[in-house]
Structure 1
Amino acid sequence: MLHEHGVGGRWAARAPLGSPVGVGGPRGSMLIEGTARGWFLAGDETAIPAIRRLLAELSTASPHGAGLVLIEVPDEAHRPVIEAPPGAELRWVHRGAAPAGSALVAAVDALTSEDRPAPTADPAEVFAFIAAEHTIVKPGRALVLDRWGLDPDRVVVKGYWRRGEDEYHAPH
């Protein structure tokens, strides 16, 4: 599927077949250091590559950790294959015709302290990554910092994109 908006989409729409493309990452700020007894990963389709990478990292670095993964997609037909390690609970959030990000926001808002992965672990031993449409930022931070009390140094919450803004670039 080609999205003909944004810098990358416009380039892809005009690039001749066989044009080289480079992909960089992850940035140093996205690397997990140490082990995590618990982890929470949430995102929409734009976050799936990062979630896959983090799941692979966490399954190696923290093989006995417990995790919760929420991924928003339009419907069951749009679910990609996700390899979840033992101890991971993968929950799909279907938005149907609702605006992208809205179902994930509702799912995050509905989580309670009982949903926190590794509830008996020190909050400093739990890692969280949340990335989706920009409206996820406030509810994501409210969940992991306020309700779950996680260490801000072990939390990444970002709006990868903003509805209606083709040129939006998430801050670092």
Structure 2
Amino acid sequence: MSSLTDARAPQRLRHETRMRLLDVVDVTDVTPLMRRIILTGDLEGFSAPGHADHIKAFFPEPGTEPFIPVIGPNGAEYPDHIKRPEMRDYTPRYFDKPANRLAIDFVLHGDGPASSWAAQAAIGQKLLIGGPRGSLIVPPAFDWYLLAGDETALPALARRIEELPAGARVVAVIEVDNAAEEQRFDTAADLSLTYVHRNGRPAGTTDLILATIRDLTFPPGDGYAYIAGESSMSKSVRAHLTDDRAFTPQYIKAAGYWLLGTPDAHEPH
């Protein structure tokens, strides 16, 4: 494969870091285990142009009101009498600027502060978010694109599928629990989408994504790969692409959104 050219170099954008206290205006179950929360409120200047951008969502203890901290040189700063809330990273599913509505999809996996909050979320509740701090923009200048990940990566994968232009070739492999968790996407791109199902096996304990990618015949030309989800899976797919498929390393982004057995493990984009 050819070396990385300027036309294909990803662009990094920085954004002003702001805390925003938003109101829940809609709650929809996209699938039995994926809940979409629509938020509105202080979204002036909000921008998330990268398909894998992530915001910080803050989850205080149940029954307590969100506290809006000051952003200092070391991040969010809290006074001694305020307990620091749990924080999780989420990719905005979409931002409708004219309607001033931000959509975030939550996996309802039954534990953790974010899933627990989403399971009881109702219109009128509030959610504090911060960011995104920056964006990585991958230009539509490649011959084809490989996308792979589990449920936690679905918002990022879906955005990329939907945002790529007509004529772009996309090969996507997405792991979900069962057929009821499959989503379909409106896209002008030439999409080849494969879902693989755990069928009750715990997330992070299978090699379904890697095994499926090993069996794929890739399109010709230079491809860009975005792999995200459980950290060990992302690393194994990256190794396969570089070691067995002669993928140029600069053409791969492998993100660990979570690590099996480790709460709140996340490798930044």
Q: What residue is the counterpart of 1:168 in the other structure?
A: 265
The superposition leaves residues 30-88 of structure 1 with CA deviations (integer Å, 9 ceiling, x where unpaired) of: x2124121111001111110011111232x2xx22322111111111111233354421
- Cα 1:23–1:47, aligned 2, differ >3 Å: closer, same or farther? farther
SS at match of 2:126: coil
Q: What residue is the counterpart of 2:158 in the other structure?
A: 52
Q: What amino acid maps onto 1:57 in structure 2?
A: E
1:61-100 correspondence runs (5 A): 63-100=166-203
Higher strand share: 2
1:1-172 correspondence runs (5 A): 1=108, 3-6=110-113, 8-9=114-115, 17-22=124-129, 24-25=131-132, 27-29=134-136, 31-58=137-164, 60=165, 63-103=166-206, 105-112=207-214, 115-116=217-218, 118-119=219-220, 121=221, 123=222, 126-172=223-269
Q: What amino acid maps onto 2:129 in structure 1?
A: G
Query: Identity of counterpart residues, as a percentage?
Result: 28
Aligned equivalents of 1:163 and 1:154: distance in 2?
A: 26
Q: What amino acid maps onto 1:45 in structure 2?
A: E
Aligned equivalents of 2:191 and 2:253: distance in 1?
A: 19
- Cα 1:146–1:83, aligned 2, differ >3 Å: closer, same or farther? farther
Q: What amino acid maps onto 1:81 in structure 2?
A: R
The superposition leaves residues 108-141 of structure 1 with CA deviations (integer Å, 9 ceiling, x where unpaired) of: 234348622x22x1x3xx1111111122123211
What's the C-alpha RMSD, in Å, of the aligned pairs?
A: 2.9
For this pair of structures, how many residues does the alignment match?
A: 161
Q: Which runs of 5+ in 2 are unaligned?
A: 1-107
Q: Which runs of 5+ in 1 are unaligned?
A: none
Q: What amino acid maps onto 1:95 in structure 2?
A: R
SS at match of 1:115: coil
Aligned equivalents of 2:215 and 2:227: distance in 1?
A: 17
Aligned equivalents of 2:224 and 2:170: distance in 1?
A: 9
- Cα 1:166–1:13, aligned 2, differ >3 Å: closer, same or farther? farther
Indicate conservation of the 8 Å contact 2:167/2:188, yes or no. no
Indicate conservation of the 8 Å contact 1:45/1:72, yes or no. yes
Aligned equivalents of 1:106 and 1:169: distance in 2?
A: 21
SS at match of 1:28: strand
Higher helix share: 1
Aligned equivalents of 2:173 and 2:216: distance in 1?
A: 16
Aligned equivalents of 1:15 and 1:90: distance in 2?
A: 31
Displacement of 1:168 in angstroms is 1.4
SS at match of 2:129: coil
TM-score (normalizing by structure 2) = 0.51
Displacement of 1:91 in angstroms is 0.4
